[in-house]
Amino acid sequence: MKVYSRYLLYFAGALLICKQSAFISAATASAPQQGAPAQPTIVPDKVVLSEEQGLAAAQELRQKNLILPIQGVDPESLKTSFAERRGTSLHHAVDIAAARNTPVLAAGDGKIARLWLSKYGGNTIYEIDPSGKYAYYYAHLEHYAEGLKEGDKVKQGQVIGFVGTSGDAPPNCPHLHFAFSLLSTPGVWWPGGWVDPYLVFKSQKDISVNKIKATAGAPGQTK
C-alpha cells in the first residue's frame, strides 16, 4: 500500500517525518434523542460513541494517572490523528515514533486480555484495566515481552512489548499505535468504542470539544 499523508513523529528529540496512506470509510456517531439517556450505539463488531461519551470517557481515564507507553515521550508533543482516514477505517489512536525494539510499557495496572496477530495492527496487545471498563490497545509491535501471555496481570511501567512495524505499518517507520477502548461488556476485550488518547494526555487547555470528534470503530480495523 502506498503511503501519502504526512504526520510528525518524535524520537530522541529529533523530528521524524513518515508518510502514510489514506483511503477510508468513516464511522459516524448518532446523536441521542433529546431527553433520552446517552447510550453507545452497538452495531455488529462495532461500538460507536457519541462525542459527549468519548469526552466523558477521556476525562475518566485522565483520573487514572496513566503513563505514555514509551518512556521519555513528552505528552505535549502528541498530535491528534484520531479522526484521520487510514486504509479501511479511521485511525482511532495516537502514533508514537521510537527506534525499533524500544520497550513498550503498560500504561497502567491491568490484565493482558488478548494477544492477537492482526492484519492491520500486526502484533497487538489488549490490556484491560482493573475496573474492567477500559482496554488499552498497543499495536505494530515487533514482538511481545518474553513470557507474556493472556491472563497475566501487569503493573504500570512494566515492559510488555517492543516497538516495531508489524501489520500494515510502513516498514521504515517503527512506531507504537496506542489507543483506548470503552468496552461494551465489562471485562470482555472486544467490542468497544475508541477513545482519543490525545484527550487523555494533553493539557486540559489544549482540548477543544468543537474540534475533536470521539468516533469509534471495531478492534483490529486500524493502523
Domain edges within the chain: 95-207
Region of residue 31 (left: phi > 0; alpha: psi -120 to 50; beta: else): beta
Which sign does the torsion angle of CA 121, 207, 102, 10 carry?
A: positive
Question: Helix or strand or coil: residue 212?
Answer: coil
* Amino acid identity at 12: A
> How confident is the chain (223 residues) per 10-residue block, as mean pLDDT?
35 36 26 38 62 91 94 80 61 84 98 94 97 96 98 98 96 94 91 88 53 39 42
| Nearest Cα to Cα of residue 61 among 113, 129, 111 | 129
- pLDDT value of position 45: 54
What's the predicted TM-score (pTM) here?
A: 0.73
Query: Cβ(174)–Cβ(97) under 8 Å?
Result: yes
Total residue count of the chain as it appears in this document: 223
For domain 95-207, give the CATH number.
2.70.70.10
**CB neighbour class for 168 (10 Å; exposed up to 12, middle 13-18, buried from 19):** buried
Q: What is the CA radius of gyration of the chain?
A: 16
CA nearest to 125, candidates 167, 90, 81, 76: 167
Position 209 scores a pLDDT of: 40
pLDDT value of residue 48: 77
Which among 125, 117, 126 has a CA at the least distance from the CA of 166?
A: 117
Closest CA to 161 of 126, 196, 188: 126
Q: Which three cell numbers stand for residue 121?
A: 495492527
